[in-house]
């Protein structure tokens, strides 16, 4: 079972001086924490991380247990770069930007794959009321949140399916989106609040408080 960890984003919205995966939380980088969670799950035997080219050597020092490849301009390019070097039949894709993800979430995704799901994602109910707005920022309607899920990573796939999903070289904010476009069912299992993504300075403060 392989875990592919895209870690090549610049993290522009975070406003730090280095790419996001190399920012530290509680004494270790987001990259180290994500690799450690995958390893500690006990269900992953191959980890591939995709990083910015100039940080290839640094990444190899930080995560010697992982194989390191050069990422691409968009997240999906980085996933494709990692996918190209594994021959595992089942793969997880996990954002380095989710440093506090519990190892148990990896186990749950792998369990679902082993039970026959070809695509599985963790998701959480949405707490806030959601409104659709027009260009002038006026509400057009309120969306029924009961049928919505905020989707996280790790996301699990049959590797052959993920390869087909990425074959067109499209970009998407997650891998399940590309699988959905093929018309293949994506199973949502219970997510975990600790798997939140570090995107903004607020998220980074939160991660540092919780680490």
Binding-site ranges for ligand C5P (CB under 6 A): 6-9, 20-21, 50, 71-75, 78, 95-97, 197, 199
Considering the complex, state which of residue 109 and residue 185 has its C-beta at the smaller distance from ligand C5P: 109
Phi/psi region, residue 19 (left: phi>0; alpha: psi -120 to 50; beta: rest), is beta
Nearest CA among 88, 44, 83 for reference residue 63: 44
Select 117 or 154, whichever has its Cβ closest to ligand C5P: 154
CB of 209 to ligand C5P, least distance (A): 19
Tell the smallest beta-carbon distance from residue 88 to ligand C5P (Å): 19
Residue 103, class by beta-carbon neighbours within 10 Å (0-12 exposed, 13-18 middle, 19+ buried)?
A: middle
| Residue (39 or 75) nearer to ligand C5P, CB | 75
Pick the closer one to ligand C5P by CB: 35 or 110: 35
Residue 114 C-beta: closest distance to ligand C5P, Å? 25
Least distance CB 168 / ligand C5P (angstroms): 17
Q: How far is the CB of 139 from ligand C5P (least distance, A)?
A: 27
Site of tokens 């299992």: 189
For residues 90 and 172, what is the distance between their CA atoms, to the nearest angstrom? 20
Q: How far is the CB of 12 from ligand C5P (least distance, A)?
A: 8
User: Which residues are CB-neighbours of 199 under 8 A, at least 6 positions away?
Assistant: 13, 14, 97
* Inter-residue contact 78 to 70 (CB < 8 Å): no
Instruction: Show Cβ contacts of residue 179 under 8 Å, excluding neighbours closer than 6 positions.
Output: 118, 119, 157, 161, 162, 165, 186
Q: Would you say 23 and 30 are in contact if contact means Cβ atoms under 8 Å apart?
A: yes
Question: With respect to ligand C5P, which residue has the nearer C-beta, 111 or 126?
Answer: 126
* For ligand C5P, the closer CB: 6 or 122: 6
Distance CA 123, CA 100 (A): 16
């Amino acid at each position: 079972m392989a875990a592919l960890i895209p870690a090549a984003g610049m993290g522009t919205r975070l406003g730090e001086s280095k790419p996001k995966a190399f920012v530290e939380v509680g004494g270790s980088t987001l990259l180290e924490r994500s690799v450690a969670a995958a390893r500690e799950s006990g269900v992953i035997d191959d980890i591939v991380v995709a990083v910015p080219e100039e940080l290839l050597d640094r990444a190899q020092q930080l995560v010697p247990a992982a194989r390191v490849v050069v990422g691409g301009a968009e997240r999906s390019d980085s996933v494709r770069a990692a996918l190209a070097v594994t021959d595992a039949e089942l793969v997880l894709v996990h954002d380095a930007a989710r440093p506090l993800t519990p190892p148990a979430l990896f186990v749950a995704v792998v369990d679902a794959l082993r039970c026959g799901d070809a695509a599985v994602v963790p998701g959480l109910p949405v707490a806030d009321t959601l409104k659709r707005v027009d260009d002038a920022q006026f509400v057009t309607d309120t969306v029924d949140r009961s049928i919505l899920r905020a989707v996280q990573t790790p996301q699990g796939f049959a590797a052959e399916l993920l390869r087909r999903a990425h074959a067109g070289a499209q970009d998407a904010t997650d891998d399940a989106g590309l699988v959905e476009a093929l018309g293949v069912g994506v199973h949502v299992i219970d997510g975990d609040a600790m798997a939140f993504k570090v995107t903004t300075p607020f998220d980074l403060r939160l991660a540092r408080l919780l680490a």
